[in-house]
Amino acid sequence: MVPTNYKKMLANRMEQDFSKWQIQQNIEEREVYRFLHTLKGTAGTIGIMELSEFCGKQLEFFTEESTALLPVQSLKPLMETFTDFFTSEQPIIEEAARSSEIAPVKESFVLVIDADATFAASVKDSLEERGISVVIALDGKKGMEFFYTLQPQMVLLDRNLPDVDGFDLVTQIHEAAKNSFLPIAVISADDRIETQIQAMELGATDFLAKPLNMSFFVPYVNNRLRNQKEISQGTLYDELTGAGNRKYFNHVLLQMTALAEKMRTAFTLVLLDLDHFKAVNDNYGHCAGDEVLRIFSQLLMNTKRESDYFFRYGGEEFALILPDTKAQTASDLLDRIHSAFAETAFSFDDSEPFHVSFSAGISEYRQKQDALVSMADRALYQAKKNGRNQTLIYERAQDDFRRHLNIIIVDDDSLVRKLVSKQFSGWKPEEFDLRIEEYADGASFVESEWFKPEENYMILLDGIMPKMDGLEVLNHVRNHYPHENIIISMLTSRNSESDIVLALKSGADDYIVKPFYAQEVVARIQRLTMRMFK
């Protein structure tokens, strides 16, 4: 059943709106549209699906932008119908709020790169119904950014993109995809045999002709994801850099911890992160970025002792595990690596030589000490916050090492804000602290002093709000603040191609269609924000 408090809150808010209408003789058509739009999303989110579907049907009779005046008397039958939804004794199944537990991040994640927003949205809907997360990029540039930052398990891309030939994109990502055994499927309406052959020769795993046969497509994606997972789990090394991979890191860390507790010895963990690495990819290309990763890794492997372990922890972040080593000794080693890497000059495609630096955080294992990785991560974060290109040793007393993720919910529906906030309050990440802020409309959010350059932000932004539309807020944020530490997901009840295209082209990283399950929103946000804390 729908929790009484949620249902009562929705009923009270609806009656408040009706009371305001009763005072007036006439009401603008767009206000009725906004009422129906908001009620549709909220009712579905808390599980009153019949009411949500009814609102969706009524929206067809009203226009979003119309300022035409409607007699309130003519709306009374509609108001009475809404009231009946809350006075009826018929039980309503509640799905959205039946559990306060946070859903885990879904491992299966597909990147769709396609300029046809309607097609991409249909693929997204079909796969997400089966528990496979999907993120859409409408052009090659955004697709490349998502490929390297979100690290999907599969890529589906169209041959015809507005800014690049899809085959050129295959060529660019093929090497990195091969290193992680990631399948690339080219999708195109041009299914001539010579086109299919070219896709295979360039490194694509598959070629699928449009229109897709969805009864085949979903099992096909599941098959490729399952194979990718099985293959990647069978290897211990990152093929691009030669460093150990995340699986090997977890295995060695567990071994070292057990050995240290048994023998009463110490060891040290170092987390290293290349500074401003996104700028390398943006200015010189991702192939240049890969070469920087390889050269940096080779330097580390040539400098470390034979007994030390070196890993690619994720993206441009690496890890060292140094047995029988104190933190200060590790710091001395990092000083030598800093000096050697500072002398390394890079140049690509006749560019001017440039240098790359790195930051590092160190934590020393002591008997029965927990959260070793978290401590090194905090020290790394503080090193970056202090100006980068330096190494810091974690000290327990330095609480400002803790990183933060600010979840900002901008929605004029207080019930949606409360429901989503409640779900996020159950998320207790080890790597950072979570802060949740709510704004009742876009104008109050924009006018607030919400932004701090050193912080990370996830903004959930409603599409239709009074005073300032969600797209206006989106454009304001993208025009006035950096993209690197702000991720924006639109919350919308509109899923037409034009709305999706406008949101994505205006800088939204994702969109979530109302009604939604609050647990799934949290799981999706975990995926999108993961790249900030690698």
Judgement on whether residues 141 and 83 belong to the same structural domain of the protein: no
List own/partner pairs for 211-217 with CB under 8 A and 24 or more apart: 212/123, 212/187, 214/126, 217/123, 217/126
pLDDT tens series, the chain, 534 aa: 445 567 777 888 888 888 888 888 888 998 898 888 888 878 877 778 888 888 888 888 888 888 888 888 888 888 888 888 777 544 433 333 343 344 444 457 899 999 988 889 889 988 988 888 899 999 999 999 889 878 899 999 999 999 999 999 999 998 888 877 899 999 999 999 999 999 999 999 999 999 999 999 999 999 999 998 888 777 888 888 999 998 899 989 988 998 888 778 889 999 999 999 989 998 998 889 999 999 999 999 999 999 999 999 988 999 999 999 999 999 999 999 999 999 999 988 888 899 999 999 999 997 666 688 888 988 998 898 889 999 999 986 455 566 789 999 999 888 888 888 888 887 877 777 889 999 999 999 999 999 988 788 999 999 888 888 899 999 999 999 987 789 999 988 766 667 788 888 888 999 888 777 777 788 788 878 876 665
For the chain, helix, strand, coil in percent to 5 are 50, 20, 30
> What's the pTM value of the predicted model, to 2 decimals?
0.69
Q: Write b or e for each residue in 399-424: b if 16 or more Cβ atoms lie within 10 A of its Cβ, otherwise e.
A: eebebebbbbbbbbbebbbbbbeebb
Residue 88 dihedral angles phi and psi, to the nearest 5°:
-65, 145
Beta bridge partners of 70: 27
Residue 42 · residue 82 · CB < 8 Å? no
**Secondary structure of residue 513 in the 3-state scheme:** strand
**CATH code at position 184:** 3.40.50.2300
Answer yes or no: is 94 within a domain.
Answer: no
- Cα angle value 16/21/26 (rounded, 5°): 170
Answer yes or no: is 415 within a domain.
Answer: yes
Q: What is the per-residue pLDDT for 206?
A: 96
* pLDDT (tens digit per residue) in 478-506: 999 987 789 999 988 766 667 788 888 88
Strands 154-158, 109-113: pairing is parallel
Residue 481 · residue 451 · CB < 8 Å? yes
Judgement on whether residues 387 and 472 belong to the same structural domain of the protein: no
Judgement on whether residues 279 and 370 belong to the same structural domain of the protein: yes
The span from the CA of 474 to the CA of 508, in Å, is 7
Q: Which of 344, 376, 401 is the last residue of a domain?
A: 401
Answer yes or no: is 239 within a domain.
Answer: no
Secondary structure (DSSP) of 192-214: -HHHHHHHHHHT-SEEEESSP-H
Q: Which of 184, 202, 234 is the last residue of a domain?
A: 234
Of all helices (H) and strands (E), which one includes residue 141?
helix 140-150
Judgement on whether residues 505 and 461 belong to the same structural domain of the protein: yes
Residue 87 dihedral angles phi and psi, to the nearest 5°:
-100, -15
Judgement on whether residues 81 and 116 belong to the same structural domain of the protein: no
Answer yes or no: is 145 within a domain.
Answer: yes
Judgement on whether residues 154 and 205 belong to the same structural domain of the protein: yes
**Secondary structure of residue 483 in the 3-state scheme:** coil
Judgement on whether residues 408 and 396 belong to the same structural domain of the protein: no
Judgement on whether residues 379 and 252 belong to the same structural domain of the protein: yes
The span from the CA of 351 to the CA of 82, in Å, is 66
Judgement on whether residues 342 and 413 belong to the same structural domain of the protein: no
Answer yes or no: is 96 within a domain.
Answer: no
The span from the CA of 249 to the CA of 55, in Å, is 52
Q: At residue 405, what is the residue type?
A: L
* pLDDT (tens digit per residue) in 13-31: 888 888 888 888 888 998 8
The span from the CA of 376 to the CA of 366, in Å, is 13
- CA neighbours closer than 13 Å in the CB half-sphere of residue 394: 27
Q: What is the per-residue pLDDT for 425?
A: 82
Answer yes or no: is 99 within a domain.
Answer: no
Answer yes or no: is 179 within a domain.
Answer: yes
The span from the CA of 232 to the CA of 262, in Å, is 32
Domain residues for the domain of 29 are 4-87
Judgement on whether residues 416 and 286 belong to the same structural domain of the protein: no
Answer yes or no: is 141 within a domain.
Answer: yes
Encoding tokens for residue 48? Answer: 């009153």
Q: What is the per-residue pLDDT for 94?
A: 39
Strands 184-188, 206-209: pairing is parallel
Nearest to 243 by CA among 186, 304, 287, 197: 304
**CATH code at position 391:** 3.30.70.270
Encoding tokens for residue 523? Answer: 């799981």
Query: DSSP assignment, residue 532?
Result: G
The span from the CA of 21 to the CA of 360, in Å, is 60
Judgement on whether residues 527 and 412 belong to the same structural domain of the protein: yes
Judgement on whether residues 396 and 411 belong to the same structural domain of the protein: no
Beta bridge partners of 404: 433
Q: What is the per-residue pLDDT for 420?
A: 87
Domain count, the chain: 4
Encoding tokens for residue 151? Answer: 């690290």
Encoding tokens for residue 379? Answer: 């020290």
